[in-house]
Amino acid sequence: MDDNLPDGWRIETTSVLSRDGDNIGILHPATLHEIVGDEISAILGPAGRVALTEGTNYIEALSACGALLLGHREEISKVSTLLQSARMSRTTSYLCSISGNCRQVLTAVRHIQTARVAVVGCGGIGSLAAMLLAGSGIRSLTLVDNDTIEESNLNRQIVWSKDDIGQLKSDVLARELQRRFDDVSLALYPRRADRSFLQLLLSENDAVLLTADSPLGIVPAARRIAARLCSLLVTGGYSFKHAIVTVTNSQSNSAGKEGNWQSLEFCIPPSFGPANALLAGATTSALLHQLCELADYGASSIFGWDVDTLKNSA
Amino acid sequence: MAAKKKRKTAKKKRKVTKKKAAAKRAVKVRLKLTPEQEAELAKAFGKASVRRIKNISIEKIAGYLASDVGMN
């Protein structure tokens, strides 16, 4: 790779690009080179593929495909350290793919690491979402759920085992989170999330992820409260075969009429393991992008898909 | 005669479809830079370099997926 660089330029194994000993930026560590014969014919970076035709400068081609993140010496050093850390390397590499420079990467990491997030509902979607949030670098989690683990949960809620049956979901989830991530501080609320408690959670946290399916009507009610408080709320759940994710933020409108719904006495809401994993991924991804201010979901976002076809249903 | 004509039309149709697919695969764009990024690039590489970078065409990822690049 260094053969393609002008004199004085160097790319360290730590992904740092330097010129005459001065650090210029970070080369995205997922950058790919397309080799034809012994020569590099193209580079693939976050923005796409750039062909190295005659006269195309290698460094300029790296910049064009978004593979170079420039920054000051200190910023470069911090991003490089994050890329080498076992805890944050993959999240940082992803953030490098959607950031324009080292400063943006560090801002996004700081937003993630200092955010307080509440997960309301620690079942099929919420338990996995809490793991994904902690794994991505969230260090302060509040877990809200008054359910205990039942045998019928084991087929799709992958955090629990048979030994955990009868225990509170929030307790077991906290134990499993601490087993994997000892830098996460946890607050547990083994209780139902009524409106006044949701209001408290939305005002005391940077974001709330709501995956609980009871009490009925909790999602529209929470969305109205979040819009009124200008708080970040992400919800994920089902309506029959439709998986639905909503994002409410400071741009959202709190208008909307309140209705009453009633379920059957023998209600069994759908919960499908593979779709739970998709919902956990979609909700946590939306939440993290909003926290990092690296995505704009607009004023009111409801998106969803039919679980059987994965076609857009929102 | 009619069958031959039909075959010819089908072949022509296939050709157009292939052509369209190839064009779709090779969507070419140029890097969009924020003023901050542009200033950083100019500081690091010079203004002439920024002009050249903005003119380099980028093939979107679909182009890469369609090519025969070996992965290790």
Per the model's pLDDT, the better-predicted residue between A253 and B45 turns out to be: B45
pLDDT of B72 reads 38
Per the model's pLDDT, the better-predicted residue between A11 and A139 turns out to be: A139
Per the model's pLDDT, the better-predicted residue between A226 and A39 turns out to be: A226
For range A182-196, the mean pLDDT: 95
Burial A154-182 (b: 16+ CB within 10 A, else e): eebbebbeeebeeebbbbbbbebbeeebe
Residue-level length of chain A: 314
pLDDT of B70 reads 46
For range B1-18, the mean pLDDT: 63
For range A218-226, the mean pLDDT: 91
Q: Please, what is the Cα angle at A287 between A286 and A293, to 5 degrees?
A: 90
Q: Is the pLDDT score of A5 beyond 90?
A: no
Which of B69, B71, B72 is the best residue to mutate to test the A interface, defined by the most A CB atoms within 10 Å of its own CB? B69
Is the CB of A25 inside 8 Å of chain B's CB atoms? yes
Are A48 and B58 in contact (CB < 8 Å)? yes
Is the CB of B31 inside 8 Å of chain A's CB atoms? yes
pLDDT of A135 reads 97
Q: Is the pLDDT score of B71 beyond 50?
A: no
**Residues β-bridged to residue A234:** A209, A247
For range A220-239, the mean pLDDT: 93
pLDDT of A257 reads 66
Is the CB of B61 inside 8 Å of chain A's CB atoms? yes
Distances (CA, A) of A183 to A48, A118, A178, A179, B40: 36, 16, 8, 10, 35
Q: Among A48, A59, A63, select the one facing B60 at the smallest CB separation.
A: A48
Are A65 and B58 in contact (CB < 8 Å)? yes
pLDDT band, residue A4 (cuts 50/70/90): confident
pLDDT band, residue B69 (cuts 50/70/90): very low
Per the model's pLDDT, the better-predicted residue between B64 and A190 turns out to be: A190
Q: Confirm if A125 and A269 have CB atoms less than 8 A apart.
A: no
Q: Which residue of A has its CA nearest to B69?
A: A34
Amino acid at A71: G
Q: Which of A117, A116, A118, A92 is nearest to A105 (CA)?
A: A92
Percent of chain A with pLDDT over 90: 68
Q: Which of A1, A8, A101 is nearest to A52 (CA)?
A: A1
Q: What separation, in Å, do the N-terminal and C-terminal C-alpha atoms of chain A show?
A: 46
For range A79-83, the mean pLDDT: 97
A112's tokens: 């993630």
Residue A34 neighbours by CB distance under 10 Å = 19
Are B59 and A49 in contact (CB < 8 Å)? yes
Are B49 and A32 in contact (CB < 8 Å)? no
For range A181-204, the mean pLDDT: 95
pLDDT of A77 reads 96
Q: Among B53, B61, B63, select the one facing A60 at the smallest CB separation.
A: B53
Which residues on A lie below 8 Å from B39 (Cβ)?
Answer: none
Which of A32, A49, A104 is the best residue to mutate to test the B interface, defined by the most B CB atoms within 10 Å of its own CB? A49
Q: Which residues contact A87 (CB under 8 A, 6 or more apart)?
A: A137, A181, A183
pLDDT of A108 reads 96
Amino acid at A113: Q
Are A49 and B45 in contact (CB < 8 Å)? no
Three-state DSSP state, A103: helix
Are A63 and B69 in contact (CB < 8 Å)? no
Is the CB of B26 inside 8 Å of chain A's CB atoms? no
pLDDT of A256 reads 63
Is the CB of A11 inside 8 Å of chain B's CB atoms? no
Report the C-alpha gap between A85 and A13 in whole angstroms.
14
Look up the pTM and report it. 0.86
Average pLDDT over chain A, rounded to whole? 91
Q: Is the pLDDT score of A122 beyond 90?
A: yes
Q: Which of A104, A139, A110, A145 is nearest to A124 (CA)?
A: A145
pLDDT of A138 reads 98
Q: Which residue of B has its CA nearest to A64?
A: B53
Which of A18, A57, A60, A73 is the best residue to mutate to test the B interface, defined by the most B CB atoms within 10 Å of its own CB? A60
pLDDT band, residue B14 (cuts 50/70/90): low
Q: Is the pLDDT score of A24 beyond 90?
A: yes
pLDDT of A99 reads 92
Q: ipTM, 2 decimals?
A: 0.75
pLDDT digits (tens, 9 = 90+) for A289-302: 999 988 777 766 88
Which of A31, A70, A107 is the best residue to mutate to test the B interface, defined by the most B CB atoms within 10 Å of its own CB? A70
pLDDT digits (tens, 9 = 90+) for A264-289: 888 888 889 999 999 999 999 999 99
Are A64 and B64 in contact (CB < 8 Å)? no
pLDDT of B4 reads 67
Q: Which residues contact A93 (CB under 8 A, 6 or more apart)?
A: A28, A29, A30, A83
pLDDT band, residue B21 (cuts 50/70/90): low
pLDDT digits (tens, 9 = 90+) for B27-63: 677 778 889 889 999 999 899 999 999 889 888 765 4
Exposed, middle or buried, A217 (CB in 10 Å: 0-12/13-18/19+)?
A: middle
